[in-house]
Structure 1
Amino acid sequence: MNVFETVESEVRSYCRSWPVVFDRATGSWLYDEDGNGYLDFFAGAGALNYGHNNPVLKQALVDYIMRDGVTHSLDMQTVAKRDFLETFTDTVLSPRGLDYKIMFPGPAGANAVEAALKLARKITGRESIINFTNAFHGMTLGALSVTGNSMKRGGAGIPLVHATPMPYDNYLDGKVEDFLWFERLLEDSGSGLNEPAAVIVETVQGEGGINVARDEWLRGLAELCKRHDMLLIVDDVQMGCGRTGPFFSFESAGITPDIVCLSKSIGGYGLPLAVTLLRPELDVWEPGEHNGTFRGISPAFVASTEALRTYWRDDKLEKSTLAKGEQVGRVMTELAEAHPGTPMLAKGRGLARGLSFENGEIASKVCRAAFDRKLLMETSGPDGEVAKVMPPLTVTDEELADGLDRLTAAVRAVCA
């Protein structure tokens, strides 16, 4: 471990919670260099919806590499990109009646968000963006400006401007009518609110504490954006690609965002890939106006295409995710009811779930107790008060039951 402590930057974080050296991984399991297996209910922060080294995706990737398929191509036309574009259109967009142009802004979710913000400002000629309390959209300056966490914002070192936070769904415990404050500011010429270019929202705030927006709240937000000529951007980086059940997390609300940001599991195999989807009439970019060296990494195209063909030609994965999510929710609710002396609240949707405690100290102890039982979890929320569960969507029934048993034991050990 010494080389990590002496050579690697102090900015490292996950390794501090899991002080082992991992060597290999398969499916829902990570193995340390001594061969000990850890059940992974973290899934690369949502980048591994199809598990570690998924054999179907791995074979497609190995075959592509072995035939000397193009790896790096900037935004040149390649067979791998064509296969992805055709498959994504035929498998994801067309069946849902969605008409989007597809942009490759760079390798990470923050790149997708930065492109969306820049495009919204270019289209509208306005500077201001509306974001929400407890939002997380990335660590680059534009994405950070619409992020809520004060610790992460503080790392910017400069004022983060041109963004205004509004209350997320149930932020005020239902005491104020939805969007009352927001719309009042929009309509009042004396409010001091700069006319917004766009609103950016997560349907489920993963890093913010597994906060779930109601479908009716999302529909109300979409209608508000239309009334006031604001673009609606949905950040589906962590909750997209089936994490909440449907491919897009906004499907159950019946809304059609103007712009959608995807990354993490869109790369299929855990490879870096980001996508910004935009309505065709919004595609006003000049050639090269927004670019980057790693706009499209062909091995990620290959793995993503195979994942789409394998898991999204029918609704089996969606139904499985919803059923397993309900199972996790039931266990968490039972844990909360069984430990009234330690108040906790079960939260989430699909296979993005969490137990919210009174403070981050308790949640951290639960995650540490889970690690001691070789279960990988993380905390989330503004004070790290939520013990977060996000297994691969391909987790087996046996693995899910095993992991929930370990979680139950961890909670009991802390609450005892």
Structure 2
Amino acid sequence: MKQTAMKQPKLDVFNQMESEVRSYCRSFQTVFNKASNALLWDKHHKAYIDFFAGAGALNYGHNNPRIREKLVQYLLEDGVTHSLDMATEAKERFLLQFNNLILKPRSMSYKVMFPGPTGTNAVESALKIARKVTGRTNIICFTNAFHGMSLGSLSATGNSFKRKGAGVTLGNTTFMPYDQYFGSSIDTAAMLEKMLDDPGSGIDKPAAVLLETLQGEGGLNSASQAWLQSIEKICRKHDMLLIVDDVQMGCGRTGSFFSFEDAKIEPDLICLSKSIGGYGLPMALTLIKPKYDQWEPGEHNGTFRGNNLGFVAASEALTYWSDPDFTSQISKKSKILHDFLARMAKTYPKEIQEVRGKGFIQGLAFVEPSHAGKLSAEAFERGVIMETSGPRDEVAKIMPPLTIEEKLLHEGLERIEEALQAMFSPAAAKGKVSVHA
């Protein structure tokens, strides 16, 4: 007898069988089954404009056709999929592409480490090598930082809710105030320098300083070029390594491939993940200045650090950076986003505190923190996916794929404006009909 599948209510399977730790599916209450560039569809054929982009893992969009073609071809030719850290043609091609298209044009020299498939793997390995080469254990990190959920990375993460989940004491880190933490009148870089200079400050001499140039999960706090340059000088003065966590902000999210390029600093270690995999595939890199590449063979390893599908996808994704029009388009669309957000802040000055962010990751910081989550919910009802960030989830964050079509970007922003009108100007929003892509 032919079996027919039982039709399940909306999210019953997930509610009954998946761990309570799930989070994003609680905000976006539907089951998705198809995606293309900046659009997602659910199983009821409703379309959603994606202003989330896999938390920054899909800078080149869903199912990018250029990348997909390379992956399908590689699979059909029985290309090696899993290889630990053995040499493969796919890895060789990626290393050459990364060197020729990213490092050489920027006059950068780094050894490439494949630490494992996730951003926290990259951060953990960076912390370990910094401690190994300096012989010190302490790491300077910053308020509202987010670096990952494994214990080493979590020890450098500021969010109290996430830290509590560790279940153990998190140590070997010293938190300092990020740029503008106390406002524009206090130079927190000078504060750090004073405390490191003072033998009575109680700070153990650090192995490294770990920072994000723009704090994505921490609320879109952006460090100035001057502050980043001051931190670099402090690192050189005190013989500390400078680690830039570019897991979310790298691969073009702020406009340039690396988020720190405008500041003209030279990190000793760089952490990359998320969109370095090109297609949403798990992949991470730790870039190490050659003189600090002091690992013993196998001293840090992982079963899935040889994701050859990631190498294939990444190699093709990097070709976007050989086209100057790609970066100019990011700049153009970033301005569209900023101008829209500035107009919304001007329209609702009592509700919106400020516009935050840079490049193609910007958002609205609300006076009442709950309004950010409310906007996300209202936007979702109108077919837009966006998330919140900040220590109180007070920032509504917009980060579409870099490849989003300009028309679709405008349409998504129009829907967000409708959502804000529904929240703060219900009379203006009355009678408006939501549209769907």
Instruction: Say yes or no: TM over 0.5.
Output: yes
- Residue 176 (1) aligns with residue 186 (2): yes
Pairwise CA distance, 1:114: 0.2
Task: State the TM-score, normalizing by the size of structure 2.
Answer: 0.94
Deviations along 1:198-250, one digit per CA (max 9) or x if unpaired, are: 00100110000011111111111111111111100000000000001110000
Instruction: Supply the distance in 2 between the matched residues of 1:271 and 1:174 (Cα, whole angstroms).
Output: 40
Is the 1:244–1:322 contact (alpha carbons within 8 Å) kept by the matching residues of 2?
Answer: no
Are 1:288 and 2:298 counterparts?
Answer: yes
Partner of 1:147: 157
**Aligned counterpart, 2:96:** 86
**Superposed counterparts of 1:89-100, under 5 Å:** 89-100=99-110
Secondary structure in structure 1 of the residue aligned to 2:344: helix
Counterpart for residue 346 of structure 2: 337
Question: Which structure 2 residues correspond to residues 328-407 of structure 1 after superposition, within 5 A?
Answer: 328-407=337-416
Does 1:276 find its partner at 2:286?
yes
Partner of 2:270: 260
The runs of 5 or more residues in structure 1 that have no matched partner are none
Query: Which of 157, 172, 193 matches 2:203?
Result: 193
1:233 aligns with 2:239: no
Work out the CA distance in 2 between the residues paired with 1:206 and 1:298. Answer: 28
Amino acid at match of 1:52: H
Letter in 2 for 1:253: A
Using the alignment, how far apart are the partners of 2:395 and 2:424 within structure 1? Answer: 15
Deviation (angstroms), 1:10: 0.4
Percent pairwise identity: 55
> Over residues 313-341 of structure 1, what are the superposed CA-to-partner deviations in whole Å (9 max), with x where a residue is unaligned?
13222221122111111111111111123
- The one-character-per-residue Cα deviations of 1:24-81 (angstroms, maximum 9, x if unpaired) are 1011001101111100000000000000000000000000001000000000000000
2:216 is equivalent to residue 206 of structure 1: yes
**Partner SS, residue 287 of structure 1:** coil
Q: Is 2:74 aligned against 1:64?
A: yes
RMSD of aligned residue pairs (Cα, Å): 0.8
2:3 corresponds to which residue? none
Distance in 2 separating the partners of 1:178 and 1:161: 22
What's the CA shift for 1:85?
Answer: 0.2
CA–CA separation in structure 2 for the residues paired with 1:220 and 1:296: 37
Task: Measure, in 1, the Cα distance between the counterparts of 2:160 and 2:180.
Answer: 20
CA distance in 1, matches of 2:237, 2:125: 24
Task: State the distance in 2 between where 1:317 and 1:209 align.
Answer: 27
CA distance in 1, matches of 2:101, 2:41: 34
Query: TM-score, normalised to structure 1's length?
Result: 0.99
Counterpart residue identity of residue 368, structure 1: A
**Which secondary structure state, in structure 2, belongs to the residue aligned with residue 221 of structure 1?**
helix
What is the rounded CA distance, in whole Å, between the counterparts of 1:272 and 1:316 in structure 2?
Answer: 27
Q: How many residues align structurally? A: 415
SS of equivalent residue, structure 1 residue 312: helix
Query: Gaps spanning 5+ residues in structure 2: where?
Result: 1-10, 426-437
Does the CA-based 8 Å contact 1:329-1:347 persist in structure 2?
no
C-alpha separation between the residues in 2 aligned to 1:179 and 1:400?
Answer: 37
Q: Which residue of 1 aligns with 2:117?
A: 107
SS of structure 2 residue aligned to 1:58: helix
Cα distance in structure 2, aligned partners of 1:252 and 1:315: 17
Q: What is the aligned partner in structure 2 of residue 32 from structure 1?
A: 42
CA distance in 2, matches of 1:177, 1:34: 53
Displacement over 3 Å in runs of 4+: none
Structure 1 residue 99 displacement after superposition: 0.2
Amino acid at match of 1:191: S
